[in-house]
Amino acid sequence: MNLFSLLGQKAHKAFLTCAALVICGAAFAQNITGGGKVIDENGQPVIGAGVVQQGTTNGVVTDIDGKFSITVPSGARLEISCIGYTTEIVDAAPNLTVVLREDALQLEETVVVGYGTMKKKDVTGAMVSVTSEELTQLPVNNVIEALQGKAAGVYITNGDRPGSTGSITIRGENSISASKSPLVVIDGIVSRSVGLDMLNPQDIESVEILKDASATAIYGAMGGNGVILVTTNRGKSGKVSLNYSGTVTAEKLFDKVPMMDVAQTMEWRRWAYYYAGLTDIPGDQPNIEVDRAAMQIKGFGEEAWANILRGWGISLADYNSGNYDASTLRWDPSQVIETDWTKYTDRIGVTQEHSISASGGTDKMKSYVSLGYLNNQGTTQGQEYERYTFRTSVDITPMKYFSIGGAINVRYSDQEYGVDGSGGASNSLPGSLHERALTLFPYGVPYDEDGNRVLHPDGNSLYPTVVDEVGKVAISNLQYDIAGSFYAQFDFGQMWEPLKGLTFRSNFGPQIRFKQAYKYMSADSANRLDRGIDYVSSNASKNFSWTLDNILSYSREFGKHSVNATFLQEAMYNMSTTLYKMSGYDIALGKIGMGMTQKWWGLNGSTYTRDSEPEFNSLSESQLASYMVRGNYSYDDRYMVTASYRYDGASQLGVGRKWQGFPSVALGWRIDQENFMDGVGWIDQLKLRAGWGKTGNYSVGVYSTKDDLSSDTIPFGSDGHVVYYTPTDLANQDITWETTDQYNIGVDFSFLKGRISGVLDFYQNYTNGLIFKVTLPSASGKTSTNANVGKTSNHGFDLTLNSINISTKDFSWRTSLNLDYNRNKIIELQNGKEDMVDDGLFIGQPTSVVYGYQSLGLWSDSPEDLAEMEKFNANGHNFKPGMTRVKDQNNDYKIDANNDRIVLGNKRPEWNVGFNNTFRWKNLQLDIFMFGRMGYLVQTGNGQTTAQPSRVLDYYTENNKDATYQRPSWAVESSEDAYSGSLIQRWNAFLKVRQISIGYVFPQNIAKAVGLSSIRVNMQLKNPFSVFDTAFWMDSDTGRAYCNRGLVFGLNIGF
C-alpha cells in the first residue's frame, strides 16, 4: 500500500469520526425558538428592530407589529437594538415582551456656545456642529476648505493655488465695505493675529458655527458676521494612545474646454481679417497673403510665420525670395507643428500629508501632543506649499476644586507662490503660468533653430513665452504662527456645598504671527522683458495680540427649574507692525538662492540698488474692552429663554462713540414634551426657537478718526528740496458702529426614532450706519472720508436634513443634505435713495451685482435687423450683421452708458447645497459627497486678440449666421465689437461630485496580530465629474475653465 492510499484511509476515518461527534452533539444540544414583541415606553410596536443572537451573526428583524421569531441554542442571549433607542440584552425565551427606551444621549449632548457649554436640548440660537470625522473626510490644505458644503448657511470660496486660503461668509453679507469675515474662536480664545489656516484639521475635535444674533451677540461688535468656535483635541485619561494619519494625493489639472487647434485658429484669424474690411476673401478660403497680413496686425513672429508656411508647403526662405506660385499652393494645417503650451506649465501635482498624535494621562493630569506635515505640490509648475504644525496641551487637576491647563499651537509655512502677473508690460500678464499658456496661439514655436527660447512665440509683445519660466521668478511667503490658550478654573461647589454650580475661570491667549514676503524676477524672465533688468523686493510684518477673559458662571437645577448665568469681563490688545519694506533691482541670483529651501540671506541693503529708501517700523495698535452677562432659564425641559447683553468699547472710534451695547433674547419651546403629544410616537423631538439680537461691526482703520499726515518735498533755495507735511484723509470723529438687528425663527426636529432629523431656520437682518468712504465737496480740499451712511437688509433660510434610509445589522445607508438660500439688498446709500453707479451700488439691489448692457444676441442680415441697424448707425454707431446686439433701454436709438446699462444679476450665488450619502456594509464604507450652487451670474470668455477656447467655435460667419458668439474681429478701422462683453454673462447653476471615497476598517483581530489597535485604509476620487453645469465650459466651483482632479490614498493607524 502506498503512502497516498494510507493517508486517504486515515482521512476518511477521521472525517467519519468528526461527523459522528457533530451528529451526537446536535442531538444533545437542544435548540429553542425565541420570540415575542418589541415595544417602546408608550406600548407602541417598534418596527425594524434588530434581534441578534449575542456573539453571532444569527439575527432577524421585527415586523410591522413589532413581533419576531428566532431559533437559537438553549441558554443563548438576544441583543435587541434600534436607532433612537438604547440596546437591551435578554435571555432567549418564547413570548418575550421587550421594552426599548428612548436614547437620550443625543439630547444630553453638550455643545460649545461661546464662553461656556450647554446641553443641545437647551440651545435656543441658530447653530450647526461639524465633527472631526466630517472635517477630515477629504484631504485638504486647511480647515476652510474642509468646511465647504458641510454647514448650511456657510458660504466658502477656495484659494486659487497651494497655500492660499479661501474666504468664509455666514448668512450672506450685511455690510458693503466693512469686513464680512466671521469671528474665529479657538479653544475659547478670540483669534486676532492668527486664523483657521494655522490649524491642522487632524487636531480639531469639533467646529460649532453660530449663525444668529441670539447666539453671536455675546461677542458684541465682533460677532456681526457670525462666529466659528473651534475645539481642538485634548488629552484623555487612560493609557497612552498613539495615532497616525496620512494621505498621498496625485492630481492633474483638467481643462474642461481645450483651446482651438491650428486649423481652427487660422480660420478664425482669416475671418477676423475679412470682417475688419481688409480683404474681400472670406475666412473659409485660405490665402497665404491674407495669413501674412493677419500676422502683422498684432505683431509679427518670424518663427511662428515659418511654422505656418509649413502648412502652405514652402519654406521661409522661399517665401521671402518670392520663389513660389500662390495659385498652386494648398493649405494643409496638419503640416504645421502644433504646440500645446500647457505642457510647459502643467505637471502631476503630488500632495502628502502626515499627522501623528499621542494622548494619555490620569484623572489628575492629561496631555496631548501632535505633529503634522503637509507638502502640496501644485499642478502648475512653480507652485508649492509646505507646512509644519505642532500642538500640545496639558490639563491638570491638582485638587478637586481647582484645575489649570494650557495649549500651544505652532505653525511654520512656506508658500512658493509661482509666477504672477506683476512686472510685465502694464502689469497685465495673466496671474499664473497655466493661464499665460492659454494666451498663446498653437502655431507659435517654443525654440528657434539654435535652441534659444522664442520670447514672443506668436509675435505679440503683450504675450511672452511660458517656456523655462520656472526658476526665473521666485515669490515666497514665509509665515510663523504661535497661538496659546491658558486657563485656571475654580469650582466653588467643590469647596463649599452651598456654592454648588458656581465656577470661576480665567482664560489668557497670546498670539503672534510673523510674515516675510520675497519676490525676485530675473532680467530674462517674461515679467521683466520690457524692462531689461532684474527686480527684487522684500518685506516683513508682525502681528501680536492677546485676550484676557474672566468668567463667572452659575448653573443649578431646582426640581423642574434649570438656571444658568454667565458674567464676563474681557480685554483685548492688538498690535501690527511693518518691520521693514524694501525693493530695488540689479541683484545677483546667487546671492539669494531659489526654491523651497532658499533663505534669502543675501538680501540686504548692500546687495542691490534700491529704487526707494527702506521703510521700517510702522506701527498700529488697538484695544477692545468688554463686559457681558448672559442668562439661561429652562422649565420642565419644555420652555427655555436665553438673554444676553454685551457692552463693548473700541479704541479706534472717536471720543463719545467708543462704547456700544449689544442685547439679545431668544425663546425655545419643546413641543414634544407637552402632554398633548403623548400619543404621537413618531415625533421624537420638535422644538421651536425664536430670537432677536443686535450685533455690530467696527471695521475701520485704527487711526481713521485721526488726521493722517503724509510727507512731500518742494524746491526751495540752494538746498534743493525741503520736506513738508499735509493731511491725507479727512478725519471723522463722529464715525461709530455699524449695527445689525437680526431676527431668527427656527425648528429642530427628529422623527421615527431618529431616522429623519434636521434643523430649519428663517432669518431677516437689517444693518444701519454702514461704514464706507463718502465723496466730499471739492471745497473741502479732500476727496473722501469714512462715515456711517446707508442701510442694507439680508434674508434667507438654512436647512439641514439627515436621514437613515436603511439600517440593518450589516448594512446602512445615511443621507445628509445642507441647503441654504440668501439674498441681500441695499436700502439707502450716501445720498439716501440715489444709486452710486460708479461704485456699482444700487438701491433695491444686492451689494455685489453685474451692471452692464443687456444682450439680445447678434445682429442678423434680415431686412428687419438691417433697418434697425440703419437707425442706430445714423446716430454714430457702426453695427453690422454678426455684431453683438444690446437692448436700447430708452428706445432712443443710441446705446450709451448713462441710459442703457442695467443691473444684470447677482454675482453671489443665492442657493448653496451640500449632499452626502454614506453606505456602510460591515467594515466597508462608501461616501459620495456632492456640492452645488445656483442663482447667480458668471462672466466667461477671452479677449478677441488672444488664443481662443474651442467653445467659441460657434461664431458668426457668412456660413454660420445662426451663431452664439459674435463674428471675429480685430480692433482696427472701427471693426471691433464694442458690446461683445455682454455675451459672456450667464445665469449659472451647477452640481458636482466633489468626492467619492471608499474605506475599509480591518477587524481588530487582524490589527492586534500586527501589534496595532486599529487600521483603516481609504481611497478617494477628488472632483471626478459634474452632475450638471449650465456653464459647461468652466468649473463653476473654482470659477475658472479648469480644476484639479485627483486620486487620494489614505491610511489611519492606532498603536
What pLDDT sits at residue 1049? Answer: 94
What pLDDT sits at residue 617? Answer: 65
Report the percent of the chain where pLDDT is more than 90: 42
pLDDT at residue 18 tops 70: no
- Verdict on whether the full-model pTM lies above 0.85: no
Average pLDDT over residues 856-884: 94
Each as own residue / partner, the long-range contacts of residues 460-464 (CB below 8 Å, 24 or more positions apart, any chain) are 460/298, 460/299, 460/301, 460/945, 461/299, 461/425, 461/530, 462/425, 462/428, 463/436, 463/439, 463/946, 464/424, 464/429, 464/436, 464/526, 464/529
Q: Which three cell numbers stand for residue 769?
A: 450706519
Write a three-state SS string for 247-259.
EEEEEEEEECCCE
Lowest pLDDT segment from 175-184, 200-209, 370-379, 1000-1009? 175-184
| pLDDT tens, residue by residue, 761-819 | 999 999 998 887 777 766 666 667 777 788 999 999 999 999 999 988 789 999 999 99
What pLDDT sits at residue 245? Answer: 92
What pLDDT sits at residue 943? Answer: 45
Q: Which amino acid is at 735?
A: I
Look at residue 167 and give its three-state secondary structure.
strand
Q: Report residue 973's pLDDT band, with 50, 70 and 90 as the boundaries.
A: very low
Query: Mean pLDDT: which of 106-110, 115-119, 259-263 is highest?
Result: 259-263
Torsion of the alpha carbons at 49, 50, 54 and 59, rounded to the nearest 10: 140
- 117 near 57, Cβ under 8 Å? no
Look at residue 471 and give its three-state secondary structure.
coil
Lowest pLDDT segment from 109-118, 220-229, 741-750, 926-935? 109-118
Question: What secondary structure does DSSP assign to 872-931, as a single string?
Answer: HHTTT----TTSEEE--TTSSS---HHHHEEEEEESS-SEEEEEEEEEEETTEEEEEEEE
Q: Which residues contact 95 (CB under 8 A, 6 or more apart)?
A: 35, 36
pLDDT at residue 1043 tops 60: yes
| pLDDT tens, residue by residue, 434-468 | 888 888 889 999 999 889 999 888 887 778 889 98
What pLDDT sits at residue 716? Answer: 57
Q: Which residues contact 535 (CB under 8 A, 6 or more apart)?
A: 423, 519, 520, 521, 527, 528, 583, 584, 585
What pLDDT sits at residue 845? Answer: 94
Straight-line distance from the first to the last Cα atom of the chain, in angstroms, rounded to the nearest whole number: 55
Q: Report residue 974's pLDDT band, with 50, 70 and 90 as the boundaries.
A: very low
Query: Mean pLDDT: which of 402-411, 652-661, 930-939 is highest?
Result: 402-411
Q: Which three cell numbers stand for residue 351?
A: 500632495
Q: Is 453 exposed, middle or buried (0-12, 13-18, 19+ CB in 10 A)?
A: middle
pLDDT at residue 671 tops 50: yes
Backbone dihedral angles phi then psi of residue 266, each to the nearest 5 degrees: -65, -40
- 483 near 469, Cβ under 8 Å? no
Look at residue 205 and give its three-state secondary structure.
strand
Q: Which residues contact 803 (CB under 8 A, 6 or more apart)?
A: 755, 756, 757, 814, 815
Q: Report residue 176's pLDDT band, with 50, 70 and 90 as the boundaries.
A: confident
- 539 near 600, Cβ under 8 Å? no
Domain ranges within the chain, ordered by starting residue: 32-103
- The pLDDT mean for the chain works out to 84
Each as own residue / partner, the long-range contacts of residues 830-837 (CB below 8 Å, 24 or more positions apart, any chain) are 830/774, 830/775, 830/787, 830/789, 830/790
Q: Which fold has domain 32-103?
A: Immunoglobulin-like (2.60.40)
Question: What secondary structure does DSSP assign to 187-199, as a single string?
Answer: TTEE-SS--GGGS
Distances (CA, A) of 493 to 108, 196, 784, 816: 22, 36, 58, 42
Pick from 191, 189, 143: which is nearest to 168 by CA?
143
| pLDDT tens, residue by residue, 345-381 | 999 999 999 999 999 999 899 999 999 999 999 999 9
Strand pairing of 502-521 and 473-491?
antiparallel
- 560 near 636, Cβ under 8 Å? yes
Q: Report how far residue 965's alpha carbon sits from residue 968's, in angstroms, rounded to the nearest whole number.
A: 9
Q: Report how far residue 172's alpha carbon sits from residue 824's, in angstroms, rounded to the nearest whole number.
A: 7
Q: Comparing 593 with 124, which gets the higher pLDDT?
A: 124
Q: Which amino acid is at 514?
A: F
Q: Which residues contact 78 (CB under 8 A, 6 or more apart)?
A: 34, 51, 52, 53, 54, 70, 72, 89, 90, 91, 92, 96
